[in-house]
Amino acid sequence: MKYFILFFVTFFSLSTYSQYTEVINSKRPGLSESPYGVGTKVYQIESGFFYNYNDRPNLFTRQKSMGIDLFLRSGLIWERFEVNANFKYQKDEVLDNIVLGTTYPTSGISQFTVGAKYLFYMPKYKNPADEIRSWKKKYAFDKRRLIPSVGLYAGLNTNFLGKEYKAPSLSPKAVILLQNDFSEYLIWVNNIVGDYLTLSEQRTIGYVSTLSYSITDRFSIFGETQGMFTRYTKEFEYGGGFAYLPTKDLQIGVFVHSEFQFDYLNLYGGLGLSWRIDNHKDKFIYKKGKRAEGSGKAQAKGNFFSRIFKKKSRRSKPPKIKKSRKKRSSSKSSEKREKRSNRGSRRDRK
């Protein structure tokens, strides 16, 4: 547990940027997960009904399974950081006699996983609207879109499960999350999964790859492939589905998966919705050189050494204006001068 806390404290000093989007960002309806979080002060519920049919003739295999999947997400502390919990309750029909084909029912909590994910890197793309000189450059593909965004999920499979689904002990889960935004409409998500890492009999290493395309602002489709490798088995599934947005905070989705085997049928599908409570508030980040409101001081440009050795420009002083001295004169002195001048004129007359 101490290493788990130390891991996120180490990256506390990294600069943050907004994970929040105006439209809900849901993990459903596919099986892959994006490296992006929901944003701070956002509380999201993703739930749905799933059904699995499997006619594989192996002893103690689940022939039919159905249940409810619940996924809770919230952004805390940092924009890049998200905590979540995955809860699954299901009912199964387990094959106990291959010859007679008899089954017995089981039910209970089959999964209860808590964890968190963190976005390490998000590439910056060119804005085509900024290019006004060349039509070719404006509509050319940005090669930086080939570099994916990178995130990491770390979780713990708890043992608060039903009697038929209990594991020998707690076990960690880790997922590398990758996402390429080829355009505003075409997105490719890849996950490298390691589940039940400390349990040799149940340890699973696999991948999930999802390619989605937005036909309209409200409707999108996707195709998906999944591979899972255990100590004794190898499974490959292919599928797809669609998602629809009735509102910006509500999403409905449907998906179907199958192994496409010739000797048996393994079909897995689900229907669900995602809903969020949006209390997010954007934080204003002021750029260097611009004065922040209420601070009264502007940030210095450049690094430490450039500010030391940079020549200071002399402030231009305003030109001096000579002020003309005003003659001191009063009403009394002017009256005396007038009287003297009048006396002198009278004497001249005499």
**Mind listing the pLDDT tens digit for each residue in 74-108?**
998 888 999 999 999 999 988 887 767 788 899 99
For residue 50, what pLDDT is reported? 95
Residue 72, domain member (yes or no)? yes
- Is residue 322 assigned to a domain? no
Cβ contact 256:29 at 8 Å:
no
158: domain range?
Answer: 2-278
pLDDT at 322: 55
- Domain contains 191: yes
Cα–Cα distances in angstroms (integers) from residue 87 to residues 16, 45, 55, 292, in the given order: 30, 11, 26, 45
3-state SS assignment for residue 137: helix
* pLDDT at res. 103: 83
* Interatomic CA distance for residues 159 and 238, integer angstroms: 30
DSSP string, 321-349: -PPPPPP---HHHHHHHHHHHHHHHHHHH
The answer to the question of residue 36 being in a domain is yes
DSSP structure class, residue 26: -
pLDDT of residue 293: 44
The domain total for the chain is: 1
pLDDT at 339: 56
Whole-model pTM: value is 0.74
Q: What pLDDT was estimated at residue 134?
A: 75
User: What does the alpha-carbon distance between residue 27 and residue 270 come to, in Å, rounded to a whole number?
Assistant: 13
Cα 12 to Cα 7: distance, rounded to the nearest angstrom = 9
Residue 25 forms part of a structural domain: yes
CATH of the domain at 75: 2.40.160.40
- The predicted pLDDT at position 313 comes to 46
Which segments in the chain show pLDDT lower than 70? 1-19, 59-60, 99, 129, 283-350
pLDDT at 1 (0 to 100): 42
Spatial separation of the C-alpha atoms in residues 131 and 119, rounded to whole Å: 29
Instruction: State residue 305's pLDDT score.
Output: 39
The pLDDT tens digits for 104-136 are: 899 999 999 999 999 999 998 877 767 777 777
